[in-house]
Amino acid sequence: MKEKRAQFSSRFAVIATTVGSAVGLGNIWAFPYKCGVNGGAAFLLIYIACVLLIGIPVICAEFSIGRGTHKNVRGALRQLHSSRFVHSFSFIGLLASILILSFYSVVAGWTLEYLIEAISGQMTATPAADFSNHFSGFASSPYKSVAWTLIFLLCNYFIMRRGVKRGIERMSNILMPILFVILIIFCVHSFFLPEVGRGLKFLFHPDFSKITPSVVLGAMGQAFFSLSLGLSCLLIYASYFSDKENLIGSASLIAVLDTVVAVLAGVIIFPAVFSYGANVAEGPKLVYEVFPAIFASMSMGWLWAVLFFLLLFFAAITSTISMSEITIAFMTEEWGLSRKRASQVNTLVAMALGSLCALSFGVLRDFTIFGMTIFDLFEYISSNILLPLGGIVFALLAGWVIDRRFIRDQLTNFGSVNRRLYPVISFLMRFVAPVAILLIFLYGLKLLHF
Ligand code: PFF
């Protein structure tokens, strides 16, 4: 039986759920480490430019297609265009969402392990020098990492199964404000650290000599992943928006809030990194290796650790809920499966693939395809190929292929809002965004060298 299509019940819910999707491990784990590796403030500056010039117009493209049709990605494309070739682009998002869910759940699973270690006091009892070994030991243990991945996916399943209104909306309404409160507490704490000045200078005082083509393109890629762009995640959320929602306004607010969280994460992390003598260019291990060491040397460290990993877990689950919605809406609306059954299929596939990703830090470490472990391969295919491809497709579809009036009516609510902003967004969507994304794409495939 076809289930009635849900709608978010308030503007607050729209913002909370969409920001919940955008804000995740990408902001709190990936942004600070990438900013650290790429020279700090210069990276931040370009990142912000990318959010404004690519992020907002592509969000608008996904929003207008989703809200205008109130359908899943395939249904939406079918309604808007007769060509099967155009419909086939829906598979980019479906494939990307399942690949991202699989490897993302592994990193989210580490968060759960660290949360339990923090609660039990084990984390703050570990000598700071041992955290690197501790992380490697844990990540490579054959069962622990897999077990946490599966547990995380089960949490995701129980929320998903409840549906848009009861599961996603309620969860985001509660979790997103808590997330902001915890972040603010951490920021305040950072201001009392001895090296707060150095940390903030690193984040906000740009050294323009650090800007290289690879920093520019790295910042664009990060903006893409962080905003959940290109895989129809925002399209499907917009399909639950009401017709009164101001799409350009919401897109801008979401882009700003997502960026604020990334910057807050930087404000929290860099003063701490300098104060505790950690290496700012530590790389992807920054959160999972350096933070516990920092907590161990803080007074009330266990409490900060619990808050931090709780925050990371919340941020991760509101993101995985949104990626799961892409496949679940597809299976319920295109295949007629019940929401419960679709959630089960989604979870089982992610469990199988996620276990392989988790094992690639241990027993499958030497199993490589194109020189990459399964985890790295999934990350590479989704971030470097599928998201940029999807982003170009949405920008081109909304900018050039779909009836111009349809997009304009959506972005202006039939001429009642944003009449002056619309031409700017339209220009960015049609020209600026596709060209910029193309550069990321070619760079990701290593077809473009500077
Ligand atoms: N934007 C999320 C983050 O920053 O962690 C990651 C993400 C969520 C990517 C949802 C893709 C997606 F569909």
| Per-residue pLDDT tens over the stretch 124-168 | 777 665 666 777 777 788 789 999 999 999 999 998 888 766 777
| Least reliable range by pLDDT among 16-30, 194-208, 379-393 | 379-393
Would you say the CB of residue 105 lies under 6 angstroms from ligand 1? no
Which pLDDT value is given to residue 1?
Answer: 42
Which pLDDT value is given to residue 423?
Answer: 97
- Spell out a b/e string for 210-241, using b for 16 or more CB atoms within 10 Å of the CB, else e: ebeeebbbbbbbbbbbbbbbbbbbbbbbbbbb
| Least reliable range by pLDDT among 186-200, 250-264, 269-283, 367-381 | 269-283
Which pLDDT value is given to residue 305?
Answer: 87
| Per-residue pLDDT tens over the stretch 280-316 | 887 777 777 767 766 776 778 888 889 888 888 988 9
Question: Three-state SS for 372?
Answer: strand
Closest listed residue to residue 401, CA positions, set 59, 163, 36, 80: 80
Contact 226, 27 (CB under 8 A): yes
How many A from CA of 27 to the centre of ligand 1?
Answer: 9
Mean pLDDT of 188-212: 91
Distances (CA, A) of 355 to 13, 25, 295, 312, 319: 33, 19, 29, 21, 19
Which pLDDT value is given to residue 290?
Answer: 67
Would you say the CB of residue 96 lies under 6 angstroms from ligand 1? no
Mean pLDDT of 108-115: 93
**Alpha helix positions (H), 205-288:** 213-226, 233-238, 247-275
| Per-residue pLDDT tens over the stretch 228-240 | 999 999 998 899 8
The topology under which CATH files domain 12-444 is Amino acid/polyamine transporter I (1.20.1740)
Over the chain, what is the mean pLDDT? 88
Q: Answer whether residue 78 shows pLDDT above 90.
A: yes
Q: Answer whether residue 55 shows pLDDT above 60.
A: yes
Would you say the CB of residue 322 lies under 6 angstroms from ligand 1? yes
- Which protein residue's CA is at the shortest distance from atom 11 of ligand 1? 228
- Residue from 17, 21, 175 whose mutation best tests the ligand 1 pocket (most atoms within 8 A of CB): 21
Band of pLDDT at residue 8, cut at 50, 70 and 90? confident
Would you say the CB of residue 233 lies under 6 angstroms from ligand 1? yes
| Per-residue pLDDT tens over the stretch 13-25 | 888 888 889 999 9
How many A from CA of 17 to the centre of ligand 1?
Answer: 12
- Residue from 50, 100, 224, 254 whose mutation best tests the ligand 1 pocket (most atoms within 8 A of CB): 100
Would you say the CB of residue 21 lies under 6 angstroms from ligand 1? yes
Would you say the CB of residue 257 lies under 6 angstroms from ligand 1? no
- Residue from 35, 95, 104 whose mutation best tests the ligand 1 pocket (most atoms within 8 A of CB): 104
Would you say the CB of residue 262 lies under 6 angstroms from ligand 1? no
Contact 241, 7 (CB under 8 A): yes
Which pLDDT value is given to residue 444?
Answer: 59
Q: Where are the domains of the chain?
A: 12-444
How many A from CA of 165 to the centre of ligand 1?
Answer: 20
Would you say the CB of residue 101 lies under 6 angstroms from ligand 1? no
Band of pLDDT at residue 2, cut at 50, 70 and 90? very low
Q: Answer whether residue 395 shows pLDDT above 90.
A: yes
How many A from CA of 405 to the centre of ligand 1?
Answer: 30
Please report, rounded to a whole number, the percentage of residues in the chain having pLDDT higher than 90: 51
Closest listed residue to residue 411, CA positions, set 254, 255, 248: 248
Interhelix angle 90-120/73-80, nearest 10 degrees: 160
Contact 61, 395 (CB under 8 A): yes
Mean pLDDT of 78-107: 92
How many A from CA of 299 to the centre of ligand 1?
Answer: 33
Output the CA angle 62-405-56, nearest 5 degrees.
Answer: 30
